[in-house]
Chain A
Amino acid sequence: MSSRDVVLARVRRALTDVPRAAGPEETAVPRDYLRAHGDRSAEDTARLLAENLADYRAVVHDTHAAGLPGLLAHLLGERGSRSVVVPPGLPPEWLADCDIEVVPDAPETTPDALDAIDSVVTGCAVAIAETGTIVLDAGPDQGRRRITLVPDHHICVVRVPEQVVASVPQALARLAPGHPLTWISGPSATSDIELDRVEGVHGPRTLEVVLMTP
């Protein structure tokens, strides 16, 4: 007998008290929890997102679409970044005002090469106001998971209001499980040393989120 058969047989023997005929439905799951906590306008939801992002030490900026290239150039310049990696589907006009090296990510880009790059700019799939979370789903304007991990500075652009949801249940309903997903709530942090919070252990030490209205 394979171990698969052994384990499954043990499971079945262990569950002789459970009625088999009814199937899993015999255990009811109450779903009377809330779909969102509070009833907010789109504007208030975006404000809550900004507040919760900031509470977890992300740096939050507001802009209109027309102001985005100027803002990104300013943020990268202010930090002294000399190079920025971008996913293949990032709208080229976003970086139109930057005069630093723009490195398009490609599967051949090694972790070592990424380690030498200062910043990364991406879009996102959805942002969750109640928790202050941005979710990346490896879509064309977000790229491979590693590009938002290895460089020390991540700027993420959220399209407001269409990419903002209130809650975790609303976010999951929008996401496709087949894609690799990365949920980010503030920059990398640890509390392992006497519970003192320290930002930036392995992931980017600085997370800037740009809330972009049309």
Chain B
Amino acid sequence: MSVTDLGMPAFPAAAARSTRDTRLRANLRHATHTIRDKRARAVGELGDWAQLRAAGRAVKDRTLRHLDHYLERLEEAVTAAGGQVHWAADAAEANRIVTRLVRATGEREVVKVKSMATQEIGLNEALAEAGISAYETDLAELIVQLGKDRPSHILVPAIHRNRAEIRDIFRSEMGDWGRPAPDGLSDRPAELAEAARLHLREKFLRAKVGISGANFMVAETGTLVVVESEGNGRMCLTLPETLISVVGIEKVVPTWQDLEVFLQLLPRSSTAERMNPYTSMWTGTTDGDGPQTFHLVLLDNGRTDTLADTVGRQALRCIRCSACLNVCPVYERAGGHAYGSAYPGPIGAILTPQLRGTASELDASLPYASSLCGACYEVCPVAIDIPEVLVHLRERVVEGGKVTRGGVKTVIRPAKGHAAERAAMRAAGFAFGRPGLLRAGQRLAARTRKLHPRRLPGPGRAWTDTRDLPPVPAESFRDWWQRTRGGEQGGGRQESGQ
């Protein structure tokens, strides 16, 4: 499936469909709540979380504000360590570079480490067109790939699938790609994982080319870092002769020491572990150990356009921990597919319309895929003020204004044909049609009143130009109702607001 997602329905339509899928909603609810509770405990273990978060934010801001400087340092360091650096202005160029590099090895298949950047640019599809098979080796990505499906979560891309579905996919599809699923495969997770182990091991042992992304790149030393759990990453990073890493330019951090901040923030925020099972760090090439040829493809693809927006720039601090997805009441109901890009959830709602622009109806609708409850900001380990950027982008969709597209400063017009109003109204209808969601949104809104504008951004602005927007009450109407009259309504879930 192409990442440009031509014909993808706009967020509200897609969300309306996924919220009717009760199995999906149950899977999602279970998963997001489990991860978020565990995460709170893991974060609670560190008494200096607030300081680490402030440092993480500052390191990323320093990097972004002097990105040219750090990219040049990085290029020097990687080259000095025996790597080759390539620059890609957009997705098409990155895909061309990788295709050329794979072709030069004479190989027709590659093994891949889970990577958001290569999903964003649609690398697998580009390689397939060139006759090269790209095998995803992360268990969840394998499930998604075999199921001819799309990922729906940053951390657990197959979160929308349950064990019985996974067994069916393995049984019917594995044989087409390599070693078939064992006879009589059950839906026990341990058996499913074993089937994946056997299926992929033959690929790892013969692979000559590996493709990865990276969680961090250290400008000072040229070191790349990949954080993972299963060991498929280590396989792809060390067994092949050639390694190609496609990495967004915002992933650079200035110094070796800076890793001490992110290696504490990322695992606890992401998988809720003190440390993830495996972290690999490599600097160029090492004689006799690991790939002897290393290519780093530095990817822009809308990142410099995002950088040019002084409000939206902060989205580039993201370390893809996925914590914001797990706390988002909209994501929990809508699922990841509704966002129509590699980046779902709150971060997707601000990153995608910046990377791609807001010309399509889907991208224009994404800034409305939120109740502005503020939970994503509170949980974000690098303190990205997602609600602030959402409001900013809504304004851009509705009023147009100065933006940078493809490196060129330009002025966009307000969204055509009332597309924005439609997007907003449908998003509003989506929320208001679901009492639980509205309740969660309102209650949190009450707690985060300081974040809320006195005038509605976006399509509401004309209306509030002549009227004062009533302030968000300290207690939401529903909380008040629950407190004073709660329990009278049959079936109303009792939520303590006392």
**A-to-B contact residues, CB < 8 Å:** 2-4, 6-15, 17-18, 23-24, 26-34, 37, 52, 56, 107, 111-112, 115, 128, 130-133, 138, 144-146, 149, 168-169, 172-173, 177-196, 198, 200-204
Contact = CB atoms under 8 A, between A and B. Distances in A.
Contacts of A8: 68, 71-72
Given A7-B300, A191-B156, A29 B307 contact: no
A189 B260 contact: no
A8 B178 CA distance: 43
Contact of A7 (B48, B89, B156): B89
Contacts of B298: 7
A2 B229 contact: no
Interface string B218-239: 1011010000011110110011
Contacts of A149: 231, 234-235, 238
Contacts of A182: 234, 278-281
A63 to B, nearest CB: 25
B369 interface: no
Nearest to B64: A15
A65 B402 CA distance: 69
Contacts of A203: 230-231, 234, 277-278
A5 to B, nearest CB: 8
Contact of A24 (B55, B69, B139, B304): B69
B62 A24 contact: yes
Given A169-B260, A172-B256, A185-B273, A11 B68 contact: yes
A144 B234 CA distance: 12
B419 interface: no
14 contacts: A6-B89, A10-B89, A23-B66, A24-B70, A30-B54, A52-B274, A56-B274, A130-B274, A144-B288, A182-B234, A185-B273, A189-B229, A193-B166, A194-B31
Given A33-B52, A180-B281, 19 more contacts: A10-B300, A24-B62, A24-B254, A27-B58, A30-B54, A111-B239, A168-B263, A168-B275, A169-B260, A178-B81, A183-B275, A190-B229, A191-B156, A194-B189, A200-B193, A201-B230, A202-B201, A202-B230, A202-B232
A202 B197 contact: yes
Interface in B380-402: none
Interface in B236-292: 238-239, 249, 254, 256-257, 259-261, 263-264, 267, 271, 273-283, 286, 288-290
A181 B48 contact: no
Q: Which of A179, A183, A184 has the most CB of B within 10 A?
A: A183
A203 B238 CA distance: 12
Closest 6 CB pairs of A and B: A203-B231, A202-B231, A14-B308, A10-B304, A131-B275, A183-B279
Contacts, number: 258
Given A14-B308, A33-B261, A6 B288 contact: no
Given A11-B68, A17-B310, A186 B277 contact: yes
Nearest to B404: A14
A29 B62 contact: yes
A11 B47 contact: no
Contacts of B61: 27
Contacts of B205: 111-112, 115
A154 B267 CA distance: 23
Nearest to A133: B275
B204 A172 contact: no
Nearest to B223: A177
B229 A191 contact: yes
Contact of A190 (B204, B230, B307): B230
A11 B70 CA distance: 11
Interface in B17-47: 27, 30-31, 34-35, 45-47
